[in-house]
Structure 1
Amino acid sequence: MLEQFSQHLDLYCERTGVGLWAEPFNAVSNLAFFAAGLWGVYEARRRNAGTFAEVLGWWVVAIGIGSTLFHTFATEATKWGDIVPIAGFTLVYSLFNLRRFAGMAWPRALVIFFGFYVAVGFVTYMVPDWLRVASNGTTGYLPPFLALIFFGCVVIASGSRAGWYNIAAATIFLGAVTFRVMDPLVCDALPIGTHFMWHVLDGLMLGVLLAATTRYGKPRTEQAGHPARRMADGVLPGQ
């Protein structure tokens, strides 16, 4: 078991050996996550956006740590240290959309949350192997991409501008995916590959999402202007 987790991986164009510094561009580009996360923490505190908005900022920092470890040590163990924070952020941010941005009660939010991920999980499972290979494994990121669009539309329909940040993030994510898919295709012409741009654009994307949490993610009791809050106060939308 220990041997399996310590097995070295060579998944990206830039890596040509097992050395600690064999992916310098891929490793250093993770600074984009640190910058986005720390900015998110700063903005959450400055805008008094609440504890959970600040936690999401630190979560992005954790994504940067996990990715940095993976692109330096490049083992089976550090691969999971890279995957788990990303998956966790995706799930938590989805619920954040429903609870904080859309102002839904827990029962309805959970029904929509589980319904969406069961459906998108099935769609991802049905993706043919040839497409997984051709996309350099990027089809595994189909759930977070679809989540940005779906939950963004739900939030927009609820009357919150935060949903547009999800749509903007999805657009940036498409650019990031393009560079991830290109990485193994450009090795001969560009030995450093393009995976580092996947990190840079993903950092930008997460920064956009954190901007939404700091501006629109306060607890609902503090969001006097939120449609759900205004109706609870007996004020009709538009008044």
Structure 2
Amino acid sequence: MIKEVKDSGPIYTETNMGRFPVEPFNTFSNLIFLFIIIYWYRRLATLQQGRFARFLKVSLPILSIGYVGGSIYHATRSHPVWLFMDFVPIAILALYVAWYFWGQVIKTFWPKFLILLALFIIPRLVIRNLGLNMATGISLGYLSLSIPILFPVMWVEYKRGWKTWRWFLAVLSILVLAVNFRLADSSPWVIENFPVGTHWLWHITGGVMVQIFLLYIEKLEGSRG
């Protein structure tokens, strides 16, 4: 089994450069994001123009880039550009979601920008200085993307009487489960007993989380006033 990839990215349990797709389960599990993208583009055509519609018009293209990049990345492991197209859109989308919610808490640009920047950078600096292995560091990095989102969402929920808090709790719970699947892929037990690994379950649960989160935002906007 050939494990030397050409993109400087992490090695997964399923990685085998001697075949195509290099990571079959990791590649095809990414289709869940294509289904989500198609669903919300179809929904967008029926939505009245408003804040949620504008949110989708920005977020869906970013999600689409991540889907294409992630699929080619896992299928070929051939170039760093596909690796960047896999994870950079996730970070951009998380920052956009955080900006979207902070915009409902703080109206002036610079305080909002500086708070968001601090909540994005500080957790990542802490993780980097913990001396963790690559797999754990990356997984905790993904988890830390929820921090800039958590605070404004809690404030918005408080101001609106906690009408939709169960939805956001579901999103957080699935995120934790997804990150655990990502972490488990590099564990000795999984490597020895589960040849397809668990990274593909990170994709599946991550897709479920994204879908529920978008439904949550739509419901939250519907509860305004």
TM-score bin, normalised by smaller chain: 0.7 to 0.9
Deviation at 1:158?
Answer: 3.0
Cα contact 2:128–2:137 (8 A) shared by 1: no
The answer as to 2:211 corresponding to 1:226 is no
Deviation at 1:103?
Answer: 5.3
Q: Superposed, which structure 2 residues align to 1:199-238 within 5 Å?
A: 199-217=203-221, 226-227=224-225
Identity %: 22
Aligned to 2:15: 15
The answer as to 2:180 corresponding to 1:182 is no
Write the letter of the residue equivalent to 1:37.
Answer: I
Comparing 208-217 with 72-81, greater Cα deviation is found at 208-217
User: What per-residue deviation string (whole Å, max 9, x for no partner) do you get for residues 192-236 of structure 1?
Assistant: 11110000011111112221333345xxxxx8x635xxxxxxxxx
Cα contact 1:38–1:57 (8 A) shared by 2: no
Cα contact 1:26–1:196 (8 A) shared by 2: yes
Aligned to 1:237: none
Cα contact 1:44–1:50 (8 A) shared by 2: yes
Write the letter of the residue equivalent to 1:25.
Answer: F
Aligned to 1:220: none
Mapped partners of 1:162, 1:112: distance in 2: 25
Deviation at 1:9?
Answer: 5.1
Question: Highest relative contact order (Cα 8 Å, sep 6+), 1 or 2?
Answer: 1
Runs of 4+ aligned structure 1 residues displaced above 6 Å come to none
Aligned to 1:236: none
Q: TM-score scaled by structure 1?
A: 0.76
Aligned length: 213
1:171 to 170, 173, 196: 173
Cα contact 2:33–2:207 (8 A) shared by 1: yes
Cα contact 1:90–1:144 (8 A) shared by 2: yes
User: What per-residue deviation string (whole Å, max 9, x for no partner) do you get for residues 45-83 of structure 1?
Assistant: 323242332332333232211210110121322111111
- Going from structure 1 to structure 2, the CA distance change for 1:133 and 1:119 (only over 3 Å counts) comes to closer
- Going from structure 1 to structure 2, the CA distance change for 1:6 and 1:196 (only over 3 Å counts) comes to closer
Mapped partners of 1:205, 1:175: distance in 2: 10
Q: TM-score scaled by structure 2?
A: 0.80
Q: Secondary structure at the match of 1:192?
A: coil
Aligned to 1:62: 65
Cα contact 1:25–1:196 (8 A) shared by 2: yes
Mapped partners of 2:217, 2:171: distance in 1: 13
Aligned to 1:142: 143
Write the letter of the residue equivalent to 2:74.
Answer: H
Residue ranges of structure 2 left out of the alignment (5+ in a row):
none
Mapped partners of 1:163, 1:119: distance in 2: 26
- Going from structure 1 to structure 2, the CA distance change for 1:97 and 1:163 (only over 3 Å counts) comes to farther
Deviation at 1:111?
Answer: 4.0
Residue ranges of structure 1 left out of the alignment (5+ in a row):
218-222, 228-239
Q: Secondary structure at the match of 1:137?
A: helix
Mapped partners of 1:181, 1:10: distance in 2: 12
Over aligned residues, Cα RMSD in angstroms? 2.7
Cα contact 1:36–1:57 (8 A) shared by 2: no
Cα contact 2:127–2:141 (8 A) shared by 1: yes
Q: Secondary structure at the match of 1:124?
A: helix
Mapped partners of 1:96, 1:176: distance in 2: 23
Mapped partners of 1:27, 1:140: distance in 2: 22
2:120 to 117, 130, 144: 117
Cα contact 2:66–2:86 (8 A) shared by 1: yes
Cα contact 2:36–2:207 (8 A) shared by 1: yes
Deviation at 1:10?
Answer: 5.9
- Going from structure 1 to structure 2, the CA distance change for 1:183 and 1:6 (only over 3 Å counts) comes to closer
Cα contact 1:70–1:79 (8 A) shared by 2: yes
